[in-house]
A and B are shown apart, each in its own frame.
Chain A
Amino acid sequence: MTRTPLRPLARILQARASGENPDLIERENLAWRHEVIRDRGRARSEGRLLFLAIFFMLAFSLVGGRMGVIAASQPQEPKAEASGAQILATRADITDRNGRILATNMLTHALYAHPKDMVDPARVARELVELFPDMDQAALEKRFTDGRSFLWLRRVLSPEQMQAVHDIGDPGLLFGPREVRLYPNGPIAAHVLGGASFGAEGVHSAEVIGTAGIEKAMDARLRDPAQSGPLQLSLDLTVQATVEEVLYGGMVMMKAKGAAAILMDVRTGEIISLASLPDFDPNDRPAPITDKTAEPGDSPLFNRAVQGMYELGSTFKIFAAAQAMDLGLMNPETMVDANAPMRWGKHLIKEFKGKNYGPLLSVTDVIVQSSNVGTAHIALQIGGLRQQAFLKQLGFFDPSPIELIEAPGAKPLIPARWPDIVTITTSYGHGMSASPMHLATAYAAIANGGIAIKPTLLKRDTPAQGIRVMSADTAAKSVSMLRQVVTRGTASYGDVEGYAVAGKTGTADKPKKTGGYYKDKVINTFATIFPANNPRYVLIVTLDEPVEDSGPEVRRTAGYTAVPVAAEVIRRVAPLLGLRPEVDFTPVDQITAVVEDNH
């Protein structure tokens, strides 16, 4: 571009010659130059504005177009992506604490019929009855021909049965897929698992719902598709199987009607094993007994460990002793009146077989000898109100919080009024009933240094938080007393070498329905804490109507029935729990060992 000078010499000279002002020429040129600059600037601004307008128009039309597409199109799963986290519509598995399967699902088929599509209803009915003898041929044929268009025949078919039905070859017989609940371990932990059945049923699927036990109590968790992964219980399958095996052996040997055992970790409150015998197979859950005269305990479905409300007998005595020590009323050496029989109003409190351990016994010996009269005097010093408050703290007044559907309904049987005679009888475990689970929870509080924790069936990794119900010192003294029951008291058969078992026996006469007590029917309980020097586990073993008649004398006390069974359970289970026995190994001279090895 050629730049025009502001004062072109030719025009200046011309203007000077004609007497005009040459500065005007300069002004004119300057104005002209500014005009050019302005024009150029405007053009550039216009270009920028246009560019911005186009940019915003494109941006907004892109957003608008995308919105339109999203609004107008059908939603679709991204097809090209591999699905990472699975949302499964199936019921969650249940595993034990080591991940071994306790309950899982299996795909089978249900059989239904479209009678209108049937070629030969009579033949189908005949061949179906051959396959399934429980069907009624006449009724089946009638239902095939009465004009209905849909009919359920069988809820679950095994693959072999399905093939056999296929071989009938009638187009009116159809199959729908079914997920069924499978308990691969059979009757092991049956009372914990409960069982499952079908809820709403359709042709293409059916709802699986829990009917009892943890399957029903945790139904929402098991069915929640958002909570992936199996439900891990605190049970240990190996320990559970061992406990059930030993308990069954003990039950048969002691001719008992039933038995229950609970093994609980005192630090976390986890139930490692919960057994109730007789048991059942949850894959084929028996129907409940409808007979009105039958006792609930007659059904194998009855969970003795949680639902069974028993007078737990002398196992309660330690609570009176512990409370008296915690209140500072006594120490283990305090002498208490144990002069039997003791008269209270119109009641006579006697010892086992009319013995008399008195006139005075130390608190420790009251527990070791299991003196009813001594415990009664301790309880009277504590008083009914404080006794009730203590038992309530230990959980004896409320249903157990364990995650079983049966638990909330199993409320301990507490006397409505609490006169002194109830204080006395409760102190040695008569007059009020509770389940073995309640007893395990209360003993766990003693074993856990006086802190009461909630029992749970779900795996917990950290020690549970709880409330302190007695001082650590009282708890330690109580465990020491219980240890002496085993070393020199009523539970001498309970000693397992290396595991320092501490425990208390309890023998309670069974109450008659008509009132009063049976003379020859007892509930025997042995509540143990082991190892005593560093309590880790509580084991409760209860036998229903046991009798030990191998010798000349027929014995029905817990010391001869429940105690040996519990000792065998500990002997078998403690190594499985990884507990090392504290035995004095014969010191081996290292040099001798080397020489022996040289051969």
Chain B
Amino acid sequence: MAIKQLTVFVQNQKGTVVSVTDILAKNNINLRALSIAETQDFGILRLIVNDEKTAERVLSENGYLIKVIDVVGVKIGDAPGKLTEALAVLDRAGINVEYLYAFMARTEKHAYVVLRVEDNAVAEATLTAAGFHMISEADINKL
């Protein structure tokens, strides 16, 4: 069920993000979500895109260090407290969230949260049991 996240290692320098997004744009790849983690030296771009295979290929061809990993995508209601509900479920189950970021759907009254956890299957089962809906790659491509 998990969704694919593109992870790109970049230097924390002026112009780094735009050069990545520029390559994606030229190859007609649509960004669903983007999150950046940075230190003084380096940055890690985390991307959810509509066509991760092409994105991986074109960025690799341009010399970027890329890793595609599986992350959990969960659909939550677009209302105050909804994220807390999902996180509380994971917390009660003793599941540690390494990082997360969220994005909105254009049409539906929903938000999507991307979760990086140690064990995707356990997190998904926990959230599903609590009534949450997971999103899949197919869902991403339809967005």
Binding partners A and B:
no
Residues on A close to B: CB < 8 A? none
